Structure 1
């Protein structure tokens, strides 16, 4: 900005000086030449004074600048992604409390929370997780399955064909869903808790888990 202003002043001075020179170029006299020289000296002095003032203003502005002490923006940590769904490939029989339900059909295992060797969902990070369990049975059979977290039930599913007193009841597909707080390293798995010791697979009996958000 200061440089532009100086250029403008120089241009004005040059124009004025040129016009005066033109006016006396034909028959210059000593007084006219003296006038031009004095005018030139006056313009030079004005420009010098103006330049000095601008330099002082720039120096004052530079001195008033405060270095920024603001912290640099940080890149947020990448969000952990955890999701799992598996189906039971085939029917299971002779179920007992030690039976392992391997829901490994049509597997989606983002973040690898599910370990097929023991059929456990292991939380890779602490947070709020959602779990669902679906159990499919045909008529004449029924089954009770719990979803355990560190050996404590957090979800129950009951399904099948059974009698309660004189009432005939039939439920072919039982499902349930739960949200739970998980600490990193916690295990969740399905456990047989009673019934006809059968669980039909056919891709219908399903176990799913996912991370809703970290804590």
Structure 2
């Protein structure tokens, strides 16, 4: 009787495992069937789509992919949210508040705008200082100075604001940023960022 009982228990265990395994297989097959149906639908939509997926229809630069026809939507607008004191020579002003970054050309980590595609670009900026401080700065492209300017309140208690615009032709991968100038003028290189748009930087592709 003991052997018979053991045999019956073993047989029941095998049937139980087999049933569970069958249920798991049925569930897996069901999910696979659903996935196959979804893939079939997506494949049909892809084949009926008029857009092309060739590499020639997108331009990739430093991890930025710009679909064909989207170059006209490259634009950025950033501003500073805090004051920066004692910037070093050639140190970038890193505008930390992104208001617009179509094309992903601007980086808050470097303060640089990298052109995703070649074209004619327009840049504009406002740099503020004040209260017995000043900043001398350059707007540069690939380390070549485009504009030199100063916001100077070094001898008075008030705001000092300078603004400007530059137009330049850029190749994909070229960089533009604002940095502290190395021109020898006694200056604390203090940038105001409090308030909305106190110090800001913007640009867009013209064509």
User: After TM superposition, is the score higher than 0.5?
Assistant: yes
Show the counterpart of 2:205: 211
In the TM superposition, what are the counterparts of 1:129-168 in structure 2 within 5 Å?
Answer: 129-162=121-154
SS at 1:137 equivalent? strand
Q: Normalization by structure 2: what TM-score? A: 0.59
Q: What is the distance in 1 between the residues matched to 2:77 and 2:96?
A: 8
Q: What is the distance in 2 between the residues matched to 1:83 and 1:104?
A: 16
Q: Is the 8 A contact 2:130 2:154 kept in 1?
A: no
Return the offset for 1:162.
3.4
Identify unmatched segments of 5+ residues in structure 1: 1-76
Return the offset for 1:182.
0.5
Could you say which structure has the larger radius of gyration? 1
Q: What is the distance in 1 between the residues matched to 2:130 and 2:78?
A: 20
Q: Is the 8 A contact 2:77 2:100 kept in 1?
A: yes
Q: How many residues align structurally? A: 134
Q: What is the distance in 2 between the residues matched to 1:183 and 1:206?
A: 24
Q: What is the distance in 2 between the residues matched to 1:120 and 1:156?
A: 17
1:176 and 2:164 aligned: yes
Show the counterpart of 1:5: none
Q: What is the distance in 2 between the residues matched to 1:206 and 1:142?
A: 16
Q: What is the distance in 2 between the residues matched to 1:170 and 1:92?
A: 17
Return the offset for 1:141.
1.2
Q: Is the 8 A contact 1:156 1:176 kept in 2?
A: no
Q: What is the distance in 2 between the residues matched to 1:156 and 1:107?
A: 25
Task: Report the RMSD for the aligned CA atoms in angstroms.
Answer: 2.2
Q: What is the distance in 1 between the residues matched to 2:98 and 2:171?
A: 27
Q: Is the 8 A contact 2:130 2:158 kept in 1?
A: no
Q: What is the distance in 1 between the residues matched to 2:130 and 2:83?
A: 11
1:197 and 2:192 aligned: no
Q: Is the 8 A contact 1:147 1:154 kept in 2?
A: yes
1:123 and 2:115 aligned: yes
SS at 1:114 equivalent? coil
Q: Is the 8 A contact 2:128 2:199 kept in 1?
A: yes
Return the offset for 1:170.
7.1
Q: Is the 8 A contact 1:133 1:157 kept in 2?
A: no
Render the CA deviation track for 1:51-101: whole Å, top value 9, x for unaligned. Answer: xxxxxxxxxxxxxxxxxxxxxxxxxx5241110010011000111124332
Identify unmatched segments of 5+ residues in structure 2: 1-67
